[in-house]
Amino acid sequence: AETLAVQSSTMQRLSAAKCVFLLCDVQERFRHLGYKFDAVVAGSARMTAAAKELGIPLIVTEQYPKGLGHTVAEIDLSSVTDHGGFVVEKTSFSMLGCPDVSSALKKMDYDAAVIFGLEAHVCVQQTTLDLLEAGKGVHLCVDAVSSQRTVDRTCGLRRAERAGALLTTTESVLMELIRGKDHPSFKAISANLKHTRAEDPLEGI
């Protein structure tokens, strides 16, 4: 029984009906500071479009936008509210430190969060730890998560994984969510994957 419990906790299969997407702080100020920032933008745009297609709630945060700017224009947020998502400013590092985010998540019926954005060792990491502490599964898209320095990115992702998060990629997440070619969104997701490939992709850890 104990072995089955461990397998269940590490498997964390994704379902579109029971997950939420979290886009963390992909803002203009980081454009010339973040390591392979364009890859983060490409992956975030991919997941934002997929959230719309699959009807998954997307919560977007912006860390102190007065100083760091808003979410970059390449990421289309025009439909973010269609499935219960929203864009919100924050000053806490963890997304869950924002009252609007924590309140919204408490009302949602979800068991896993898929996270992409910045920075791996600060806001993404602290959001991950808060979600794990709340008993939620966390999937970190390593091809769409970065920091300003590579050492910070590596350490942030490794700590999150040791804490219980699953390291994955945007494509892996989307393929798991649709399961196969017979899914009604297969063609749309396939086209999305082709159109949003990063020219200079992020590597694993």
User: Which pTM was predicted?
Assistant: 0.95
CA torsion angle for 31, 36, 41, 47 (degrees, to 10)? -150
Q: Where are the beta strands (DSSP E) in the chain?
A: 19-24, 58-63, 86-90, 112-118, 137-146, 166-168
Cβ neighbour number for residue 133 with a 10 Å cutoff: 11
DSSP 83: T
CB 143 within 8 A of CB 42: no
Q: How far apart are CA 4 and CA 176, in angstroms?
A: 21
What residues act catalytically? 25, 90, 123
> Are the C-beta atoms of 107 and 101 separated by less than 8 Å?
no
Written as tens digits, the pLDDT of the chain (205 aa) is 544 444 445 678 999 999 999 999 999 999 999 999 999 999 999 999 999 999 999 999 999 999 999 999 999 999 999 999 999 999 999 999 999 999 999 999 999 999 999 999 999 999 999 999 999 999 999 999 999 999 999 999 999 999 999 999 999 999 999 999 999 999 999 999 999 999 999 998 8
